[in-house]
Structure 1
Amino acid sequence: MKRPATSRAALRLRLLWALAAVLLLASACGGDDSDSSPTAAPATDSAPAAEAPSETQAPTTTTETAAAETADESEEAAETVEETDDTEPAPAEPAYRYQRIVSISPTGTEILFAIGAGDRVVAVDEFSYYPSEAPVTDLSGWQPNVEAIASYDPDLVVMGSDGDIEANLESLGIAVLSIDAPATFDELYAQIAQFGDATEQADEAVALISEMRSEIAALIDAAPDASGLTYYHELTDGLYSVTSSTFIGQVYSLFGLDNIADPADSDGSSYGYPQLSDEYIVDADPDLIFLADTLCCGQNAETVAARPGWDLLSAVQNGRVVELNDDIVSRWGPRLVEFIAAISDAVVSIGAAS
């Protein structure tokens, strides 16, 4: 199984999850490409079910002797059927290898339901509240507990990479499918395909990937070239942002937008998630502001305009502050299309106003 990355990559991942934790924990009060494969579960051999005896058809006759013989044969057939009914049927072989899935990854949960494996999900973590039918529990995604997870008797667990937890679950005979934030769109699609292979929903996964590709392409085509326009993406009201090196930053790059946060992390010391300042943002004067802290931190166009000096920003004065759903932006599953649609709409509105 895949183990956690080391050095800079590990620090980067921890920073991403730390920021996401702030968003999701606060959101709960207000309101993850892995190349690992799940551990194979041992196959169960099932004995074939006993065949029911065929009915005995009595010959047609008008004689009393024939009638008596027919009655005797009917009694024997009835006794045979009765004996057969007393036979304990052999258990049916499971339709899928993994019948009881536990997900402690909100993105993993969304993917499982999107590819049709949701009916086998028996428990999800406290933040996996989408879709609405997900069986939410108090399982923690930030501090996974092996005993708590095992209490749901899963045969497959979906979770972020954690070597120790994975090893402990596998020692109990529980397969683990690790899910980490992708770096590219190709990694995202490969991750969805991996979920399809693991859950034997490969065709559904391929269909989902095809649908996402098609919808994203249509949204990009619908928007004018935004080259030359700048944007600021806000992760938290502490002014943490993202650079173009992150997956979120690559989403904006699809439209040709320029990221004002890139110079703030030119050496990569913030691993793509620099903390900016009011002065920095006011000086950069972005054409668009995207708020991904509306749920966690209660931010909106009005609160942004009330910040010192922000009322002078072009984005504020021109009504180009876009309020996003934190959950959709922080997850990279099927609802990624909704995030891209919000960007497309914003770029289209600028083009229409030009």
Structure 2
Amino acid sequence: MPSARRLPAALLLAALTLSACGGTQNSGQDQENSGGKDAGFPVTVEDASGEVAIGSEPQRIVSLTPSATEMLFAIGAGDQVAAVDEHSDYPEKAPTTDLSGFEPSAEAITEYNPDLVVLARDAADAADQLKKVDVPVLLVPSATTLDQAYGQMRMLGEATGHADRAEEVAGRVESDVDAIVEETAAEIGDTDLSYYHELDSGMFSVTSETFIGQVYDRFGLENIADSAEDAAGGYPQLSAEYIVERNPDLIFLSYPGDQVVEDLGKRPAFESVEAVQNGDVVRLDPDVSSRWGPRVVDLAQSVSDAVTDAAQEG
């Protein structure tokens, strides 16, 4: 079937309409088989685009953002998820497909007969096409703070009929992160450690204005990327000279590769960096460190372990 971008507008709308009608029929059958779980619906939730009305409890959710997929399963809506994007690989039972979350095709999405679609904020074009055929869409932006992540969990809970469970999960994640931070502070006291977070071998980094930067900030760490000339966008590309000169106490690597820690230590002049000398170069799980779902607790624990080790060495 040709892609959505190649179809004439009228033909695309016809294809979407047929698919959407099929989705409504299947959704009704699923709801009847489930015993009617529409208590509390309709509901109106607020996403990145504004208010979104959802008439009945969704039974066929398509999630095209990995963080939202993890949230949906954590809050008890996993059985309602019919399809997820190619990168939504957690949990293992998530129904991964070849759907793209970066360039979502409204036509491809409707083949799964969704009654709710969760998209990234920059997928507005696909969202508009789906809304034209009455498929509810939630646009979920990248969280820049922990509070935003907790809020998204609660919003997805309301949208899927799991408000109470979502409230419980968000509250537990928040309390677990707070506890890890407090326990770390109690163990090591105040710290003046600096860090460098590397997104890839091209030395792209993050500032304290990003989500992961906010996590590091909870531990009182100083981010060497904050003073970079091109830091305004939140993801500056640093030079080797800049990193060596700033001499971070900790280095965190968040990309795949079995030898990334060793390879970094072999870069010219990096043997003089404090983190390299003391063995405080930490490889983080690339997925955990790039998503803002419930596994942020695992990220906080990894940072805590690294901070504790570095502080005790000092």
| TM tier, smaller | 0.7 to 0.9
Is 1:213 matched with 2:182? no
Distance 2:313 2:82 in 1: 49
Work out the percentage of aligned pairs sharing the same amino acid. Answer: 47
CA-to-partner distance for each residue in 1:36-58, whole Å, 9 max, x for gaps?
444423xxxxxxxxxxxxxxxxx
Q: Which stretch of the first structure deviates more once superposed, 146-155 or 207-216? A: 207-216
Is 1:287 matched with 2:249? yes
Q: 1:34 aligns with which of 44, 48, 66?
A: 48
Distance 1:301 1:225 in 2: 28
Superposed, 1:122-271 pairs within 5 Å as 122-161=82-121, 162-223=123-184, 224-225=188-189, 227-265=191-229, 268=232, 271=233
Shift of the alpha carbon at 1:282?
Answer: 0.7
Partner of 1:275: 237
Partner of 1:304: 264
Partner of 2:22: none
Distance 1:246 1:233 in 2: 11
Matched-pair contact (CA < 8 Å) for 2:150–2:174 = no
Distance 2:231 2:97 in 1: 41
SS at match of 1:275: coil
Distance 2:131 2:258 in 1: 41
Distance 1:99 1:185 in 2: 29
CA pair 288-315 structure 1, distance change in 2 beyond 3 A: same
Distance 2:52 2:259 in 1: 40
SS at match of 2:204: coil
Matched-pair contact (CA < 8 Å) for 1:226–1:257 = no
CA pair 346-239 structure 1, distance change in 2 beyond 3 A: same
CA pair 290-226 structure 1, distance change in 2 beyond 3 A: farther
Q: Which protein is bigger by CA-based radius of gyration?
A: 1
| Gap regions ≥5 residues in structure 2 | 1-46
CA pair 289-250 structure 1, distance change in 2 beyond 3 A: same
CA pair 104-266 structure 1, distance change in 2 beyond 3 A: closer
SS at match of 1:138: coil
Query: TM-score by structure 2 length?
Result: 0.80
Matched-pair contact (CA < 8 Å) for 2:207–2:213 = yes
Distance 2:95 2:198 in 1: 31
Shift of the alpha carbon at 1:340?
Answer: 0.8
